[in-house]
Structure 1
C-alpha cells in the first residue's frame, strides 16, 4: 500500500512539445512516496508512415517502477506492430476496428513479453503498472485504459468523455476475479491489489486453464473511440490516481481551462495541476499529460486582469495578517493560510480553489516577512485547511 516520506519531494520533471496541430505539456512529482513509480510517453508523429498521428500515455507503477518504465519506452511499438502499421488506415469503420484490435493486441503482447524478463519471471520484481493513453489520428481519438489512471476529454467547455477506472469492486471485474478463484476484500484483489487490470503483476496471472484476459488481473485495455470535433475539442488530460484522488473530472477540466486563459506555457499549466493536487492533500506520485487541441481556450485580457486582481488581494491579506502581530509574535505560515481559508476570496481558479494559490501565498509571506525563522515550505506542512 506504499510507504511515505517525512516530507514530500517536490522537484518536478516537466516537458513540452508540439506538432500535428496540437501542443502538449507534462509534469510529474514524486511527492510523499518513497519512490517515483510513474512514467509517461509523448510522441508526436508515429513510425510506419503515421506521421500525422500522435500518442500520449501515463503509467502508474506499483510495487516498483520496472514495468511502468519499460512500458513508457516500448508499449507504442507493440501497439503498432499489433496492428500491422498499415492496417491503421484512413478512418473508415474497418480501419477504426483495426486500430482497436491493434491496441488490444499490443497490450497483450507487451504483457507476455515482459513476463520473460528474468527478474519478473523469478519473482525478484513484482511490479505492475496501470496505463492510460490517447492515440490521435487526424479523424479520431482512441482512448485507452488499463487500470485506475484516467483520461478526460474537455469538449465544448465541459467533460465530454472520461475513461472508467478498473476497480475490483466493479461488477464485471469482480466476476472475472471470482471466476479465476480469487476474492475481493477491502476493495482489493485478494485483499492486496487495488486495481483489477494492469500490466505486469504476474503473481495475479498464474491461474491454470485461464487465458490472459481471464486472470485475477487482466492486461486487456478498454478502448473507446470518438470522432474528433475540430471546433469543440479543447484538450485531453491524462493523469494517474495521485491527481484524481483529490480532483474530480469536472474540477480538473475547469482548473485547466482557467489556467489556459492566463498562461500559454503548457508545462506551467501542468506544474500548477501537480502543485495544486499536492496542496489538496494527495499523498501519491503525481503525473499529468495535457494535450491541447486547436479548440483549446486562449489567453484573454479579462482572465489576466482577474488573476492580477486575485494576486493583489492575496498580497494585501498576507500583509494585513502579518501587520496584526503583537505579544504573540509574527503568525507562522500555516496560521496565515488557515486565516485566509476562512474567508470568501474572490476570483479563485475554479476547480483549484485556494490550494492552487498556496505557493503564491507562501512566496508573498516569505517576501513580506524576511526575518522569519526557517519553518519549511508550504509543501512540507500538514494540510492547514
Structure 2
C-alpha cells in the first residue's frame, strides 16, 4: 500500500457547484500516505455556451500510483480531448470517451517528458448528457440529464443511487478477472499473487508504460490497457444521485454502504460537500497498522440529479423517500466502515452473484487456498466475467485474521443480496502483532482456565483414591553409588532424582527402590 506518515494529513480540499440540472460536491484528502496522488475534474458544461437540455456535464476521479504525474495530467486533459473529438460532436459519447482515454494515454507515451515516468492512474469518468426528450416523452421535465455514461479503467468506482439502491456504473478491473487475465496472458504477461507481472494490482490504467511495450499489439490488447469499460444508463426519474470515488473509499465501504451513507445524510439536510468530507473521516484509519485499510489517499464526488426540481425540492424529495421507505430501506446509521470482519449488509441492484462457498474452500489444498486468497479467486461461474471474490464467513475470517489476511467489501452481491467480500493478504513484520493475533480471546481464556481447574480437581481426586489402596512406606528411595558403565542404564526418573540431590552426577549415581518396610518383607519376617 506504500509508505505512511506518523500522523495523517487530514486537511481537505473541497469544491461544490450547481446549475439548473445538478449539484455536486467533491473532496479529497491525503490521509496517511506520504504524498497526494489523486486528481479529479468537475465540469458543469463541456461547452459553456450550452445550457439545459443541450449540455453535457463531466465528472472524473483519477487515482494515481507510483507518483502523481499521470493522474494530474489526466485530470487536466481527458475532458478537453473528449470535447474536441468528432464523436462527441456527433453525439457518439461512448466512442468519444474511449478515444479520450486512449488519446490521453498516447499523448503521455509519445511525450519524452512523460514516456519514462513510472506512474500511472485509474480513471472513472461520468458524462451526464442533457438532450431533448425522446420521442413519446414530450411530457418529460425540462433541464434534466437524459443519459448517464460512465467510462472506467482500473479500480476506482462509480455507483448510481436508483430508488436508494446502489446500481453499479462501473466494475473494478483486477488482474484475476477472466477477461483481464486472458488479455494479460495473450500479451505476454502473467499474474502472480493477484498482480500483473507480480507488481501492479489493477489491469487497466492510464500510464504504466512498462506494461505497454508489445508493439505488435494495439493499445486495447496490451498487458495493461487504458481502454475503458463503458456503461450507459437512460434516466427515467428514479435516479437520486451519482457517486464517483477512488479505492481509498471502496476499500472501507461497499457500494451499498456508500449509497446508504450519502442518502441518509441527504435526508438529514446536509450539504454534499460536508457529506463527502464526513465520508472520508469515517474511512480514515485510526492508525496505519490495520493492513492498509483506511490509509490510502481519498477522493469522493457526489452529484445530485435534480430531475427538474429546485435544490430545496430535491432535498425534500429524497428525505420523503427515505422516511417512507420508498425503494431501498436505508438504515438509520450505516455500519462502521473499518469493521470489515463482521458486517452483513445487503448489496445494490445490478450486482451479480458469486462468492466462494465453504465446501469449495475445504476441497482445496493449503497452497491453493493461499493462492486463491492472495489473488482474489474468481469463484463465480465459468461464464462470469466480473471480479470473483470471497463471501465473508465470520469464523473463517477470525481464523485467518492472525495470518495477515483481511477482507474488504467488493462491488458485488450474491443472489440473496449479501455483500461479497474480497480477500487481501497483508504482510506484517511485527512479532508483537503476531503474538497479539495469536493470543486467545477473553472467552477462550476463561474456558482454558475452567478446564485447567477441572483437571486439577480430577487429579486430586484420583490421587486420594490411589493413596487409600497403597501401603505406607517406612523408608524413602535410597541413593546408591554404581559403576561408571552402569550409568547409561539408569532410568530417566533416576537421573531427575540425582540432579535434585545436587551432589553426584548422573554418570555415577542411580536410584533404587528401598526394600525395607515393604509388604513382602513383613510377610517374610512373620513366616520365620
TM-score (norm 2): 0.54
- Aligned twin of 1:200: 207
Residue in structure 1 matched with residue 298 of structure 2 by the alignment: 286
Residue in structure 2 matching 1:136, options 109, 114, 128: 128
Matches within 5 A, 1:2-13: 2-13=2-13
2:59 aligns to what? Answer: 56
CA–CA separation in structure 2 for the residues paired with 1:61 and 1:83? 29
Looking at structure 1, the residues matched to 244 and 299 of structure 2 have their Cα atoms a distance apart, in angstroms, of 8
Deviates more, 1:233-242 or 1:45-54: 45-54
Unaligned runs of 5+ in 1: 89-97, 305-346, 356-385
Using the alignment, how far apart are the partners of 1:48 and 1:29 within structure 2?
29
Contact kept? 1:250, 1:351, Cα under 8 Å: no
Shift of 1:58: 0.3
Shift of 1:4: 1.1
The residue aligned with 2:253 is 247
Match of 2:105 in 1: 111
- Give matches, 1:266-281, under 5 Å: 266-279=272-285, 281=293
What is the RMSD of the two structures over their aligned residues, measured on CA atoms? Answer: 2.4
Alpha-carbon distance change, 243 to 114 in structure 1, aligned in 2, over 3 angstroms: same
Pair 351,144 (structure 1): closer, same or farther in 2 beyond 3 Å: farther
Cα distance in 2 for residues equivalent to 1:38 and 1:195: 16
Larger Rg: 2
- TM-score, normalising length: structure 1: 0.74
CA deviations over 1:293-312 (Å, ceiling 9, x no partner) = 126553859999xxxxxxxx
Partners of 1:33 and 1:269 lie apart in 2 by 22
Could you say if the C-alpha distance between residues 178 and 49 of structure 1 is closer, same or farther in structure 2, counting changes exceeding 3 Å? farther
> How far apart are the structure 2 equivalents of 1:267 and 1:83?
35
Residue from 323, 331, 334 that aligns with 1:350: 334
Within 5 A, what are the aligned runs for 1:322-337?
none
Q: Is the 8 A contact 2:283 2:337 kept in 1?
A: no
Question: 2:253, 2:337 within 8 Å by CA — same for their partners in 1?
Answer: no
**Which secondary structure state, in structure 2, belongs to the residue aligned with residue 119 of structure 1?**
coil
Is the contact made by 1:261 and 1:303 (CA closer than 8 Å) also made in structure 2?
A: yes
Displacement of 1:82 in angstroms is: 2.6
Larger relative contact order (Cα-Cα within 8 Å, sequence gap ≥ 6): 1
* Aligned counterparts of 1:252 and 1:182: Cα–Cα separation in 2: 35
SS at structure 2 position matched to 1:55: strand
Q: Is the 8 A contact 1:29 1:274 kept in 2?
A: yes
User: Retained in 2: the 8 A contact 1:252–1:351?
Assistant: no
- Taking the aligned partners of 2:224 and 2:320, their CA distance within structure 1 comes to 50
Supply the distance in 1 between the matched residues of 2:181 and 2:162 (Cα, whole angstroms).
32
Q: Which of the numbers 141, 148, 152 marks the counterpart of 1:145? A: 152
Q: What is the aligned partner in structure 2 of residue 28 from structure 1?
A: 28
Give ranges in structure 2 of 5+ residues lacking alignment.
131-145, 287-292, 308-313, 324-330, 340-528
